[in-house]
Amino acid sequence: SIAPRNGAGNLQLQWADPARTQRWLASLPGVGTPIQNAMQGASATGAAQLTARWKGGWQTLSDQLAAASAGRAQPTGKDTFELQASVSAPRLNITLPPSATGSSTGGTAPQAIELLGVSAELSGSLAQATLALSAEARKPGPQEQRANLQTRVAGGLTNAGLWQATINALRLQVQDAQHPGPWALQLAEPLTLTTSASNTTASAATAPLRAATASKPPDTKAAKTSAPFKLQASAGQAVVTGPLPG
């Protein structure tokens, strides 16, 4: 059921034919041609699945998003909007045109990327949500490259204009066929990131930046410009491992 202030429902989507979806997007009136031009030379094969369950009204969600976008406190009241969603894709093969890969060699060979075991789960509300993500990316060929990522994050909008996220787990492993490996980065302690909108000029948080640019002439106009946001991070720890030399 869908209503302004209450409701609940379930959604299931099966994406079994990316090429057909691409053709359908290109056929849409008004936007089909720009979409087709943007995806020129790009293609995908594989399958993906989306499942979602929500509780709450669409107007409640709209009010919460508007308040978050404007940096205001969340609307008070008993109405809430909660979402549980998951995305899974056992295998997706994506082909990108040479221009999309930033190649400067002038070659015409497309670039292939394989996404394996993609799994993402999101649960909660704007105030408090959790995200678990795992995926592997592979660039096949003689110069094969691989990357594997697993992470768990929790966070939300804790106050007016104040977002906080805690990375509870993170492991990234990369391997390049041309170099010894693999290399791995693993978080040893949770890392908390806090961002907030700011209408004041940059202060202590940007002191290192000012010190690094102290040799430049002062810019009066820039000094009066407000910082768009502030970012603070806790002292998390990470461990990097790789092949032993020799």
pLDDT tens-digit readout, 17-70: 888 888 888 888 888 888 888 888 888 899 999 999 999 888 888 888 888 878
Confidence of residue 242 (pLDDT cuts 50, 70, 90): confident
pLDDT of the residue at 245: 65
- CA triplet 221, 223, 227: central angle to 5 degrees? 110
- Residue 209 · residue 231 · CB < 8 Å: no
Measured CA to CA in angstroms, residue 224 lies from 118, 218, 220 at distances of 45, 11, 7
Q: Is pLDDT of 202 > 70?
A: no
Cα 228 from chain centre: 20
Give the pLDDT mean for 116-145.
93
Q: Which two tokens stand for residue 201?
A: 């000029």
Q: Is pLDDT of 226 > 70?
A: no
pLDDT of the residue at 124: 95
Helix H or strand E encompassing 165 = strand 162-176
Confidence of residue 229 (pLDDT cuts 50, 70, 90): low
